[in-house]
Chains A and B, each alone.
Chain A
């Protein structure tokens, strides 16, 4: 039946589109501060800090009090954090919103095994999602995030994994939009493995093509969504090394072949990249010679917080140092989102530019 039963009114579409545009305004990106309790435990354990609610609150307070709205357009919250308050008793969503930053919320409930596959997964969280979204909207959220995970190996990702994850992402996106939340669509392809850059590019293109077909099938309003993909990089154990320019070219090529221009912004995940790597790669993308109709920005967790965590060590006396480290990374990524970042590590432009290859190699 090719008849339209409009899922959104023009006013709803405008609201979603405006929210998405605000998040990826020029020079801005997303702070992914939505680490689950378990994941936060891993981060805190590394700096010998106990994983309790107060410590989690203190660390997020440290970040949210210092966050600069000039380079951060949105912050993704974990459920618990949405209902916590700052040292001065201000609810975190309000603190962030008053700075002109959009509040987001992680809504998925983690991965679940796909039987009959080689350890592949889908993501759960659709049950009662509509009601949860309505509540989150009331509690100050304007966008949501849902992470699906795929991996590259000899037999993966399988057709089932690609189709199932694309479908569940589209269902999630559709439900979010009904409740005034901009869905960030995250089909992460893990960097684990020995595969090279071209293999990742190929897989990324197949995954994103399936994702956008599913979004279309589910009548999702693309102008009111954001994409959070992996950058196209070689596997962690790949013996061959690639420059930021090669990563940028492969990534932008893959996106140009699959992501419709209607999508306002692409906010990359940093995966296992170091803070500097994540910034340099993002910067290179924004300097690629290929035409990019969407904003290319960041949605970083570790790549924004690693130094801050290390500086903090759980001690109140280190708060300012930690905030400075965070602010510095945020500013650098804000510049990278405009292609204006110059690293102090000073890989000179000339030597890296000569490695630029035309996109028909990809």
Chain B
């Protein structure tokens, strides 16, 4: 057995900690969230084929350009943009590097650094995530190229026998290693332990699993001496599985989500930026709003890090045509603004919520 000497060999200087915390706070300034524009080439291919557009480097550049050149309304509700590697080195039509463009707008530049999932042998199709090799050098380079935060996605799934102990432990560990390496290079790590919504499990099951996964994640972060104030968490909301026959209100989703976070995410974590998973644009906004209205103490910022939930309408409007760019950007800005409001509990959807919705919050000891 390893004898642990509980001596501190400080991982970060005071200056490094200060820088990391300030970056994290800037990204999650009240009313702001993250545009996850880090779709890999393959993922982007799926989005583009759905609107009949060829998956070429130029089309990917044109599409990201229309988002990044959206007007100043974007600056009030987007605190950070996550880039894919290729995009970080692309430029606008007039030659302005995208990262520089975003940075000059006062928005923090982020970069996806994982290298995708790989199988965990001996499990029921579970995975871990790779990308640690040479990560320190890559982070240093990304920092020099304008990035101040990074993102790494681990994936877990709920079924009768999953997530397994191994999957939970291995993904928590690899997330903690990634986070530790990022911080050494002045990069705020967004920690993303996504639990997929696939399945027929109910809200309670998802909440239970989320609590177990997050407890393991934060134990691993502590073991790896990660400075929590200089991190962000990007979790799934607690929702029923896609194939669950029972329906839940946004207030129930909010209560289950906030309860799970309160039981596992230390107050020192600067912000929680939810992934949208398979949710529609409207759903993702309504749920985020309900989360911010949940009557339980919430010591961290609760905002968005949305990909599809910010871009679906924009993509549909653009359809690869230059003359649709302005209209497409308008769709994006609209979703960004609505989510900015949702991040403050001020979103009023055309659907339910508002005063009527509030009465649906059930006391949390039912969770």
Residues of A within 8 A of B (CB): 1-4, 10, 13-14, 17, 152, 154-160, 162, 198-199, 202-203, 205-206, 209-210, 212-213, 216-217, 222-223, 253, 255-262, 291-293, 358-361
Q: Are A291 and B364 in contact (CB under 8 A)?
A: no
B43 CB within 8 Å of chain A: no
Nearest first, the 9 A-B pairs at minimum CB distance are: A209-B222, A216-B215, A360-B17, A13-B365, A159-B4, A256-B268, A4-B208, A262-B262, A202-B8
List the B side residues contacting A152 at CB < 8 Å: 6
A360 nearest CB across to chain B (Å):
4
21 examples of A-B residue contacts, CB within 8 angstroms: A3-B160, A152-B6, A155-B5, A158-B3, A159-B1, A199-B7, A202-B7, A209-B219, A216-B212, A216-B215, A216-B263, A253-B268, A256-B266, A257-B266, A261-B298, A262-B263, A291-B299, A292-B267, A293-B262, A293-B299, A360-B14
* Chain B contact residue count (CB 8 A cutoff): 49
B interface, over-half SS: helix
A interface, over-half SS: helix
Q: Are A260 and B365 in contact (CB under 8 A)?
A: no
Q: A156-B6, A216-B212, A260-B263 are in contact. List 11 more A-B contacts (CB 8 A).
A: A2-B158, A2-B168, A2-B212, A10-B365, A158-B3, A216-B264, A257-B268, A258-B222, A260-B262, A292-B267, A361-B14
B21 CB within 8 Å of chain A: yes
Q: Are B365 and A261 in contact (CB under 8 A)?
A: no
State the CA gap A152–B299 with chains docked (Å): 31
State the CA gap A217–B297 with chains docked (Å): 23
State the CA gap A262–B211 with chains docked (Å): 12
B156 nearest CB across to chain A (Å):
9
| Residue of A205, A253, A256, A257 with most partner-chain B CB within 10 A | A257
Q: Are A2 and B163 in contact (CB under 8 A)?
A: yes
A17 and B365 contact, Cβ closer than 8 Å, known pairs A209-B218, A256-B268, A261-B297: yes
A99 nearest CB across to chain B (Å):
27
A4 and B204 contact, Cβ closer than 8 Å, known pairs A209-B222, A216-B263, A261-B297: yes
Q: Are A2 and B162 in contact (CB under 8 A)?
A: yes
B271 nearest CB across to chain A (Å):
13
A-contacting residues, B261-275, CB 8 Å = 261-268
B121 CB within 8 Å of chain A: no
List the B side residues contacting A256 at CB < 8 Å: 266-268
